[in-house]
Amino acid sequence: MSEDLIIEQCSPTLAGIKTGSLFSVEITEKTDIYREVRELNVLLRKKGLRVIPLKQTNKYALIYLYRPGHLKKDLNDPQALSILKSRGYDFENPECCIVQLVNHLQSDESFPHEIGLFLGYPPTDVEGFIKHPCEGVKYSGCWKAYSDPEKAEKTFIRFRKCTEAYHRLNKKGKTLAQLTVYSN
């Protein structure tokens, strides 16, 4: 996995201002996704991050980079819990929910849109998308906002500026480990 790809897709999570990020890695004959994930975990674990493959096919792997402390807080939101329960999750702890998300990704015919909760999206927006993906959208950016377009727009701008700053710093020689902040 290239540092450029991780910085492009995950800068707000690396900076500690977003719960999680998803990115795809192309699978080639030389790809050892599990070795690469282990190496990333060694590098980022001490900064409060975890990396896991959510799904793998012959062509790609879907990778989830997240902050367990942020995820625990996000998933303990009453509306988030309600969404998860309605989607068949048995909430014991965030790690169990991730395992159940992996199962949904592997076995469900449709994409599990509750994944937004694992990325730090507001539960009202996740619920809005699940119920009416094309109706009631007030703002669109990193996700579709159904509830608070001003807050969403500010968040999207913050994420974009973070990613731009991380790209600039990386081009000046800062490594992925140096760019990643510690956050619980």
Q: Is residue 182 part of a domain?
A: no
The SS3 assignment for 60 reads strand
Mean pLDDT by 10 residues, the chain (184 residues): 94 98 91 92 96 94 97 96 93 90 91 96 96 90 93 96 98 96 87
Q: Which domain holds residue 28?
A: 3-175
Query: How many independent structural domains does the chain possess?
Result: 1
Q: Is residue 82 part of a domain?
A: yes
Please tell me the predicted confidence (pLDDT) of residue 55: 94
Q: Is residue 181 part of a domain?
A: no
Q: Is residue 184 part of a domain?
A: no
In the 8-state DSSP scheme, what is residue 182?
P
DSSP of 79-124: HHHHHHHHTT---S-HHHHHHHHHHHHHH-SS--TTHHHHTT--HH
Q: Is residue 142 part of a domain?
A: yes
**Residue 68: strand pairing partners:** none
Summarize pLDDT for 26-52 with one digit per residue, the tens.
998 887 899 999 999 999 999 999 999
Q: Is residue 154 part of a domain?
A: yes
Nearest residue to 166 via CA among 154, 153, 176, 152:
176
Q: Is residue 144 part of a domain?
A: yes
Summarize pLDDT for 83-95 with one digit per residue, the tens.
999 999 988 789 9
